[in-house]
Amino acid sequence: MTAAHGVMAEYDNREALLDALRSARAAGWQRMDAFAPFPVPEAAALLGVGGSRVAWIAIGAGLFGAALAYGVQWWLSVHVYPINIGGRPLHAWPAFLPATTIVAIVWAALATLLGMLVLNRLPRLSHPVFTAPGFLRASEDRFFLLILAEDPAFSVPAARDFLRGTGALRVTEPA
Amino acid sequence: MSLPGRALRLLTLLAAGSLLVRRHAPAHAPGELPANEVAAIPLQPRFGWRFTASLGAAALGVLLLGYAVVGLLLQGTGLWGTNIPFVWGFDLINYIWWIGIANAASLFAVILVLRRHGLRTAVNRFAEAAALAAIAAAALYPILHLGRPWLFYWVLPYPATFQVWPQFRSTLVWDLWGIMAHVLVTGLFWYIGLIPDLATMRDRAVLRGRLRSARLYGLFALGWRGSVIHWARHEAAYRLVAALVLPMLVSAQTIVALEFASAVVPGWHQARLPLHVVATGVPSGLGVVLALAALLRRTLGLQQLIDDADMHLLGRLMAAASLACLVLYADEAFTAWMEETPTQRGMAARILGLYAPLWWGGLLLTALVPQALWLRSCRTGLAAPMLIGLGAAAGVWLDRFALVAGGLLHDHLPSTGPAYGPSLPEWTLLLGTAGLFAFALLLFARFVPVVSMYETRHEESEAEAP
């Protein structure tokens, strides 16, 4: 067996996980992760992460898509392939707007999915946490707190002792 | 499936030694899983003969679609009943109709997600799925009606040998972007909401020893492990895409309506047309969602998850949407009355002329009959919501027919050519797309959780919290 990925504690409700997370923060643990069967924004906030970066990625991609779509329409209609239709202006900006908006939306939506996945380092085929006994219930009804081995104060006994004191149902070591 | 059927299925599950699924498990010993009816549905080895029969019928519909498409590719649009001046027939009628269903179903799902409404746990997932299936059916038509569908890529800006580029000042080019974006964004909305539930399915399948299913679900779950950090980003992404769907809904149908409004035909040349088309589309999509809700809760035994309160809310929403439709019909008549003589004559031809039964049928089925949903007793059962919901969808179809074909009865010319009537290949194509829609929805009910499981868990935990 390789070195431990960390030490993991299991809880059966959201409040217990949040309490454990708060006391872990107070005890000085820095590198942690938590797992839940549904969104727990408070826990994410305690770990210092929110969803705003996804939104910025989407906005950036949307603006880029808009510029690209408008630019292509302008470049093709005015410079590359100008067609004179009854003397109407070649740079017909109102007619360019529908496609511009729509393409911007597509870029933003695709970037939302990809941005979310990249920030989450997904997809991946496997992950050490899945080796923890009972972890499959993280997608059902159980809550897990993981103290990562990267934590400067990490040692298996210390993390174990701390997590045992938080009222965990069980404490395991995914490798 | 009937009640005895459900009981039988449950018994076989229990008899198969499946200790993992228990209906009423008040407390869970460690290592034992609580009941999860939603996840249990796709993991059943068999689904019963009724399902197989329905899937078979839908598959026949898909075959029919293939037949209609191949026939069209071989012979061309001459197979259809369209002719000058009726250059648009079933192709446009059915396209606007399917888009309307897709739009209303996604609009509904989006509003529920953005407002974090409790109803979202019950109906969101299959409203999204219905939208996706409808948009797939809709997207076929504009491509097929091109005449030479295999050259559809000519509308894309790509460096062709002759250096001919698309005409970006044309509404037809907007159409391409509108449809393509609609398919993509609706699909993304559905898929992003599905990722965590696919992970639940994966874990469930592992615990049941169904490793092949687990691998398949796992592949599409992208390695989701439920980290709260991931959840935070996922929630942001889901809500963000929901918000992005909103402008999408207005755009695709508005663009089609603009194609009509920018024509010189008096019956079409009206600024109110985009509003009319977008807003009268709502009862069709809501009607399909309502019918599906009534059907799914009965056949899959999901009465606890899609409960009576949900049905009441959905029914009242549908009734309100059809009331809005009634107002629009009144506005249509009033606007026509205030217009110049050619428009008045065009409108009179639509309401009283050859296609008058279609116009009146549309009015009856979309705007009047659904008013019955204000009555409590019409909202819960199986038959009433299904009939009213599907009736509204049919009514919107009649309205589209009355618009596309009936709008052309009075042109600026003294007389118009022979009237439009759909030919057999057109009916085959419509039946085929309906088969595609049903086939997609049945597969969806078979393989994917029909109710959002994580949203349900979330909701339940919030209800329990002090």
**pLDDT by residue (tens digit) across B261-278?**
888 888 888 889 999 998
**In the predicted model, what is the mean pLDDT of residues B334-360?**
90
A161 three-state secondary structure: helix
**pLDDT by residue (tens digit) across A74-105?**
999 999 999 998 999 999 999 899 899 999 99
Say whether B454 and A37 touch across the interface (CB within 8 A).
yes
| CB A171 within 8 Å of CB A7 | yes
**pTM confidence score:** 0.88
Distance of CA B286 to the CA centre of its chain: 9
Distances B459 to A27, B116, B245, B247 between C-alpha atoms, Å:
32, 10, 24, 28
Q: Which of B169, B233, B245, B256 to mutate to test the interface with A (most CBs of A within 10 A)?
A: B233
pLDDT band at B465 (very low <50, low <70, confident <90, very high): low
Domains annotated for chain B, with CATH where assigned, are: 61-156+165-452 (1.20.1630.10)
Residue B258 has pLDDT above 50, yes or no: yes
Pull the structure tokens for residue B105: 């179903």
pLDDT band at B60 (very low <50, low <70, confident <90, very high): very high
**pLDDT by residue (tens digit) across A142-164?**
999 999 999 998 999 999 999 99
| Separation of alpha carbons B357 and A117, rounded Å | 53
Residue B11 has pLDDT above 50, yes or no: no
Strand runs (DSSP E) across chain A, as ranges? 6-11, 32-35, 143-148, 170-172
What local confidence, expressed as pLDDT, does residue B3 receive?
A: 38
**Which residue matches tokens 């659904």?**
B370
Between these two residues, A76 and B251, which has the higher pLDDT value? A76
**Which residue matches tokens 């019955």?**
B372
Between these two residues, B159 and A107, which has the higher pLDDT value? A107
| CB B207 within 8 Å of CB A139 | no
What local confidence, expressed as pLDDT, does residue B461 receive?
A: 80
B-chain residues within 8 Å CB-CB of A77?
165, 168-169
Residue B404 has pLDDT above 70, yes or no: yes
Sequence-separated (6 or more) residues with CB below 8 Å from residue B110? B189, B242, B243, B245, B246, B249
- Minimum mean pLDDT among B189-198, B409-418, B436-445: which range? B409-418
What pairs with residue B83 in β-bridges? B86
Nearest-by-Cβ selection for A51 from B167, B204, B232: B232
Say whether A169 and B30 touch across the interface (CB within 8 A).
yes
Please state the ipTM of this predicted complex: 0.94
**pLDDT by residue (tens digit) across B165-182?**
888 888 778 888 888 999
**Which residue matches tokens 């070649």?**
A90
**pLDDT by residue (tens digit) across B19-55?**
222 233 333 333 444 557 788 888 887 778 888 999 9
Residue B2 has pLDDT above 50, yes or no: no
**pLDDT by residue (tens digit) across A114-151?**
999 999 999 998 899 998 988 999 998 899 999 999 99
DSSP character at residue A6: E
Sequence-separated (6 or more) residues with CB below 8 Å from residue A151? A6, A29, A30, A31, A32, A159
Residue B9 has pLDDT above 50, yes or no: no
Per-residue buried b or exposed e for B418-447, using 16+ beta carbons within 10 Å of the residue's own CB: eebebbebbebbbebbbbbbbbbbbebbee
Residue A49 distance to chain B (closest CA, Å): 6
pLDDT band at B73 (very low <50, low <70, confident <90, very high): very high
Q: What is the average pLDDT value for chain B, to the nearest integer?
A: 85
Say whether A88 and B228 touch across the interface (CB within 8 A).
no
**Which residue matches tokens 């989407």?**
A58
B223 three-state secondary structure: coil
Distance of CA B23 to the CA centre of its chain: 32
A-chain residues within 8 Å CB-CB of B200?
37, 139-140
Distance of CA B398 to the CA centre of its chain: 17
- Determine what percent of chain B is predicted with pLDDT higher than 70: 92
pLDDT band at B300 (very low <50, low <70, confident <90, very high): confident
Residue B120 has pLDDT above 70, yes or no: yes
Residue B112 has pLDDT above 60, yes or no: yes
Residue ranges of domains in chain A: 6-50+125-172, 53-119
Q: Is B84 exposed, middle or buried (0-12, 13-18, 19+ CB in 10 A)?
A: exposed
**In the predicted model, what is the mean pLDDT of residues B433-455?**
91
Residue A165 distance to chain B (closest CA, Å): 19
| Separation of alpha carbons A55 and A116, rounded Å | 9
| CB A117 within 8 Å of CB A123 | yes
Pull the structure tokens for residue A10: 């299991």
**Which residue matches tokens 């009634």?**
B326
Nearest-by-Cβ selection for A77 from B168, B177, B178: B168
| Separation of alpha carbons B106 and B137, rounded Å | 15
Q: Is B353 exposed, middle or buried (0-12, 13-18, 19+ CB in 10 A)?
A: middle
DSSP character at residue B227: B
Residue B152 has pLDDT above 90, yes or no: no
